Structure 1
Amino acid sequence: MQRPELESDPERSFVMDSALSDPHNASAEAGSPANGTTRPPSTPEGIALAYGSLLLMALLPIFFGALRSVRCARGKNASDMPETITSRDAARFPIIASCTLLGLYLFFKIFSQEYINLLLSMYFFVLGILALSHTISPFMSKFFPANFPNRQYQLLFTQGSGENKEEIINYEFDTKDLVCLGLSSIVGVWYLLRKHWIANNLFGLAFSLNGVELLHLNNVSTGCILLGGLFIYDIFWVFGTNVMVTVARSFEAPIKLVFPQDLLERGLEANNFAMLGLGDIVIPGIFIALLLRFDISLKKNTHTYFYTSFAAYIFGLGLTIFIMHIFKHAQPALLYLVPACIGFPVLVALAKGEVTEMFSYEESNPKDPAAVTESKEGAEASASEGLEKKEK
């Protein structure tokens, strides 16, 4: 009997049978010869370990990314400002994702898969180093001695001159960040040369955590639009066509988390992978992070909606894996994650009578000139009131 695996495409992941080729390695399907060897059949223990590890790895970037998103929203460093997703962005995202997926499908059909993956590997090599460096920087700061010579740097790139000067890049960093960048580069070279699954996961976890931390939904309604659109997107491209499957089989990049089902038999050289795409971590993750910030805005010293949505994500991903094993067929993960991640918190809000507060909660875009102007006007008004009080 064939064992199912989680496969992924650049935007989403879905569950499919292991009869489909594994894009992460050159091994054949279970029981089939590949270069004179056979892929060992997965044991129940190995499958449980693989899926349990994937679930744990999916939860880590969501949990820590959500916590860091709170600090990110309050931060003043221009290089760490979040990117706010509006309702218009959310409505267009499934269309853009579909065009990207279809474009990759045509590229793989027309051009050589080897050269495309080489180009993608170089692209994700650079992105992965930057993402991993940003991820480990807060943790590594604790290990530097107090007398470490830490110098400040700023990378500033502008356009125009005088009053028309406009900032294109304004990135502030220090010597500690450069050390983190060096360590991340070692992982990047390891991934580029070996494509080892541990290096892949380090990059994948970094991408996921950065996505949850830096991509902010401006309100719950926008989150519902985004998740609802991708809910339809996932179902259509998995059940309606073979485009997603073809791209998933051809695409080689750290856009998925992997864990070997034969780890107990072959150790670190195992190659029979279960996989989970980063899209099914980041997209629900940014919605869960929004609910954490909503919890904090209520000022009740409780994180009810955050923990509810977090539990809903565990339930949805577990249900995806269960359905996959029952029907032995590819399953779009968002088919189960979206109803759970939206439905559970809404039910809690109904029970607590806070539905109005939930859907009226709004986050302003720190990069929006209108929001900045409004903030400045508010600050000036407060300052004027303060001066008037002093004069009186």
Structure 2
Amino acid sequence: MQPEIRDEEAARAAQVKIPVLLVDFQDGNRIDDAASLTGGADVLVWAFNSEESPWNLAMALTWLLGVLTVMTAAYYSCSEERQLSYEKVARVLAGRLDRSPSSSSVSTMVESTTGANEYVDVEDDRLELSSRHAVFFLVGASCVLVLLYYVHLALMLSVLFAVGASAALAHVFTLPLATRLASPGSSNLQAVLLVLVTLSAPALGLCWFLARTQPWVWPIQDLMALTVCVVFIDVVRLPNLRVATSLLTAAFIYDVFFVYISPLIFGSNVMVDVASGGGGMQLGSEPGAANGGKGAVQPTPMVLSVPLIFSVYGGEALLGLGDIIIPGLLVAFCIRYDYCSGQPPSSGYFCAATSAYAAGLLVANIMAIVLRSVVAGQPALMYVVPTMLATVLSLAKFNGELEVMWSDPACFLESSRCHAAAVEVSELEAQREEQQPLLPDNLY
């Protein structure tokens, strides 16, 4: 070949431009779909297999969030029992000190523990579950899940979640802070802060609703979801171990059925499809799969979501709120019993139940990776429920308290009576303040 021809070919080759773009699987699918629909230039999508490890730090973060939420919600829900326990200790110390001058510190401790919960509504609006509720849960939750599988109700769920989570944020954060800011003789700055604090919860809920499909919104969604768990565990209570066993067993059957058996009936994994929005959103148990589907996928908001870290495939690690709330009810029962029976939660049933939950959830995460080729995602309650029930029931049997905890514990009745008496005293004081005539300032 002559040198002139080589130079011409080299010049023509230098003018050829082939644009190359490195994107993840999700964006690659969108580009391919857009090119085929618009009839534009040919786009060659080449899948690059990076041999990514199925283990991801996001799974550990999701596990940690679940465990910390259960512990926090359980501690938050036992304010009455904790106060009763402190008062018992104060009375014992007062008796030992025999009215010594230092006994005033005991009364101060009791007053401080009472004052720490002044912002809590004195009316007892909590719901105690029964064995019938376990049956209602099994039937009702199954019907709702099947309905969500067939009917696209993502918008309605998002609206309900935004409203409910905003109320939960107000109950957990805004109300206590606003009560402290609205003290008598507050300054103008406190009044401005009070308005800002009052509006923060609905503003955060509105922000999440408007940006719910954006990838950066997951911390807001997780915060809102965690407060929903805290409020639910605080409002709903287990009266004894019999009801706890019935409820957790029903949840165990529900979880296993809709993960392992539902594909044989419905043709796909009902629980995974509903949790991921029905669009094949990647779960943390299988980080190597692509997110197929056209357009943005809107998952159900009833999950904790943490994006997979340093993953070229994208996706998220998900944990359903039911996997937190149902075991959290048992943990809350355990810490209430610890305080009522006078034993420290750090060495009682609370510590045992929390450790069992953490171990069961960890096993569920491990099995999700081990069995990822069999089923996408694992029913966490399949591992959590047997671990927790076996631990708590065995410990109660070993301590000789199984019969007491199986039926309604007497210490819970004592706590209820003390709370009812406190409510009655608060109502009488409120009536006395309303009936007291207002005097001019110069008479004081």
Question: Who is 2:407 aligned against?
Answer: 360
After TM superposition, the structure 1 = structure 2 runs for residues 287-366 of structure 1, keeping only pairs within 5 Å, are 287-303=330-346, 304-328=348-372, 329=375, 330-362=377-409
Alignment partner, residue 225 of structure 2: 204
Does the CA contact (< 8 Å) of 2:77 and 2:234 recur in 1? Answer: yes
Cα gap change, 1:42 to 1:259, in 2 (>3 Å): farther
Distance 1:177 1:99, change over 3 A: farther
Deviation at 1:101, TM superposition (A): 1.2
Q: Compared with structure 1, are the counterparts of its residues 319 and 31 closer, same or farther at alpha carbon in structure 2 (3 Å cutoff)?
A: farther
- Alignment gaps of 5+ in structure 1: 1-26, 109-115, 151-173, 380-392
1:238 and 2:259 are equivalent in the alignment: yes
Pick the aligned partner of 2:234 from 181, 190, 213: 213
For residues 310-361 of structure 1, what are the alpha-carbon distances to aligned partners after superposition, in whole Å with 9 as ceiling and x for unaligned? 0000100000011111111232111101001111111222222222222134
Answer whether contact 2:165 2:227 (CA < 8 A) is retained.
yes
Give yes or no for the alignment of 1:190 onto 2:207.
Answer: yes
Task: Please state how far the C-alpha of 1:41 moved relative to its aligned partner.
Answer: 6.5
Q: CA distance change for structure 1 residues 142 and 324 in 2, over 3 Å: closer, same or farther?
A: same
Q: 2:127, 2:410 → 1: CA distance? A: 11
Deviation at 1:253, TM superposition (A): 3.7
The percent identity for this pair of structures is 25
Whichever residue aligns with residue 274 of structure 1, its letter is: A
1:274 shift after superposition: 0.7
Shift of 1:125: 1.4
Checking the alignment, whether the CA contact within 8 Å between 1:72 and 1:214 is kept in structure 2 is: no
User: What is the CA-CA distance between 1:214 and the residue it aligns to?
Assistant: 1.4
1:185 deviates by 2.1
What letter is aligned with 2:331? I
- 1:92 corresponds in structure 2 to 136
Counterpart amino acid of 1:96? G
Deviation at 1:213, TM superposition (A): 1.5
| Secondary structure, counterpart of 2:276 in structure 1 | helix
Tell me: CA distance 1:190–1:69, structure 2 relative to 1, closer, same or farther (3 Å). same
Question: 1:66 pairs with 71, 74, 89, which one?
Answer: 74
Indicate how the Cα distance of structure 1 residues 80 and 62 shifts in structure 2: closer, same or farther if over 3 A, else same: farther
Q: Which residue of 2 aligns with 1:129?
A: 166
Match of 1:259 among 295, 298, 306: 306
Partner in structure 2 of residue 170 of structure 1: none
CA distance in 2, matches of 1:179, 1:42: 49
Residue 283 (structure 1) aligned with residue 291 (structure 2): no
For residues 177 and 234 of structure 1, what CA distance do their matches in structure 2 show? 43
Cα shift readout 1:187-223 (whole Å, capped 9, x = no counterpart): 2122112121111111111111111211111111101
Instruction: Tell me the amino acid that sits aligned with residue 89 of structure 1.
Output: H
Task: Tell me which stretches of 4 or more aligned residues in structure 1 moved more than 3 Å.
Answer: 27-32, 34-44, 72-76, 137-150, 174-181, 361-366
Query: Which amino acid in structure 1 is aligned with residue 73 of structure 2?
Result: G
Cα distance between partner residues in 2 of 1:55 and 1:42: 24
How much has 1:145 moved relative to structure 2? 8.7
SS in 1 for 2:151: helix
Q: Distance in 2 between matches of 1:42 and 1:254?
A: 31
Say which one has the larger Rg: 2
Whose relative contact order is higher, 1 or 2, with alpha carbons under 8 Å and at least 6 apart? 1
**Aligned counterpart in structure 2 of residue 49 of structure 1, from 53, 57, 60:** 57
C-alpha distance in 2 between matches for 1:79 and 1:271: 47
Report the aligned-residue RMSD: 3.7
Aligned partner of 2:275 in structure 1 is 248
Quick one: distance in 2 between partners of 1:57 and 1:71?
Answer: 22
Provide the aligned length of Structure 1 versus Structure 2.
310
Partner Cα distance (2:232, 2:402) in 1: 27
Identify if the C-alpha distance between structure 1 residues 107 and 354 changes in structure 2 by more than 3 Å, giving closer, same or farther. Answer: same
Assess if the C-alpha contact under 8 Å between 1:129 and 1:181 holds in 2: no
Going from structure 1 to structure 2, the CA distance change for 1:327 and 1:364 (only over 3 Å counts) comes to same
Structure 2 gap segments, 5+ residues each: 1-22, 33-44, 84-116, 263-267, 279-298, 425-444
Q: Give me the whole-angstrom Cα distance separating, in 1, the residues matched to 2:183 and 2:138.
A: 48
TM-fit CA distance, 1:69: 0.9
Q: State the SS of the aligned residue for 1:259.
A: strand
In 1, Cα distance between the equivalents of 2:143 and 2:411?
29
- Mapped partners of 2:306, 2:48: distance in 1: 15
For the Cα contact (< 8 Å) 2:255–2:382, is it kept in 1?
Answer: yes
Whether 2:30 is the aligned partner of 1:34: answer: yes
Contact 1:29 1:39 in 2 (8 A): no
- TM-score (norm: length of structure 2): 0.61
| More moved, 185-194 vs 271-280 | 185-194
Q: Which residue of 2 aligns with 1:120?
A: 157
